[in-house]
Amino acid sequence: MNDTGGLIRAANPVPEDRSTALSARGSAELAALVPDVATPTTTAAAATPPGSGPRRPTPRRTGLLVGVAALAVGVVAVGAAVVVPMLGDGGTGAGGGGLAADEPFYGTTAELEAAADLVVRGTITGTEADSSQGYEQTVASVDVAATAAGDVAPGSTLEVAYTTPGSGPESPVGLAVGGEYVLLLAAGDDGRAYLVNTTQGYFTVEDGSAVPTTDNPVPLDPATLAALGLS
């Protein structure tokens, strides 16, 4: 029994007689970690050189709170990104525009022409309204005069569909019956063709030149113009 008591006392990290069991520096360190530990005696404290005592460690709770706050900010940021909706039809022309325009915009001639399955020069000979897709759509009949890309023979007629001008944010404003245009078109599964977008999908033919819309700074390639008989 006496041996057991001695072992227990030896294993106690905070001895009962703290002023004699610990050095002055050890007592100071222990006091910093355990607030209820008595400070060393005046004599022992005087023996410690000024400035040589240990610094009080930063409580772990502070670090934990900072980490939790950072995590919360991260969750808010991720949440904000998750709830951003993707609107529109991606510029294919085959679907509705949603709450905001979401058409692609092509920054170079190569990108613009690569987006088109068909590049033709033709005249709009007639139009009809179509709301079968759930939005107002115009289907134009186009008599093809020349082809620069795609398997469409001159003299054939294309059906070109686009959002009816004025009915939504993604609608061309410069197409009219009797007008001649260069059309950059994506082929639809329904047999119709669609403008690659409503600002860059057509050029008005004027005096032998292809004139872009006011919102389109990208010209056609000279080889494309030559194939269409334009300059």
114 pLDDT higher than 90: yes
Residues 109-130, mean pLDDT to the nearest whole number: 98
For residue 136 the two structure tokens come to 């107002």
Give residue 18's region: left, alpha or beta (phi > 0; psi -120 to 50). Answer: alpha
**Helix (H, G, I), strand (E, B), or coil: what is residue 2?**
helix
Q: How many Å is the maximal CA-CA distance in the chain?
A: 116
Which residue did the predictor score with more confidence, 66 or 121? Answer: 121
42 pLDDT higher than 90: no
Which residue did the predictor score with more confidence, 94 or 221? Answer: 221
In the prediction, which pLDDT does 21 show?
Answer: 53
**203 strand-pairing partners:** 182
Measured in degrees and rounded to the nearest 5, phi and psi for residue 114 equal -70, -25
7 pLDDT higher than 70: no
Q: Which amino acid is at 99?
A: L
Task: Please state, in angstroms and rounded to a whole number, the distance separating the CA atoms of residues 11 and 119.
Answer: 89
Mean pLDDT of the chain: 73
Helices (H) and strands (E) in the chain, counts: 7, 7
In the prediction, which pLDDT does 207 show?
Answer: 97
Indicate yes or no: pTM above 0.85: no
Q: Which amino acid is at 212?
A: P
pLDDT bracket for residue 50 (50, 70, 90): very low
**163 strand-pairing partners:** 137
In the prediction, which pLDDT does 103 show?
Answer: 87
Contact status, residue 130 vs residue 139, Cβ threshold 8 Å = yes
Give the DSSP H or E segment for 163.
Answer: strand 157-163
Render pLDDT for 141-180 as a digit per residue (tens, 0 to 9). Answer: 999 999 999 999 999 999 999 999 888 777 899 999 999 9
Window from 7-21, 31-45, 63-77, 205-219 with minimum mean pLDDT: 63-77
Task: Please state, in angstroms and rounded to a whole number, the distance separating the CA atoms of residues 153 and 151.
Answer: 7
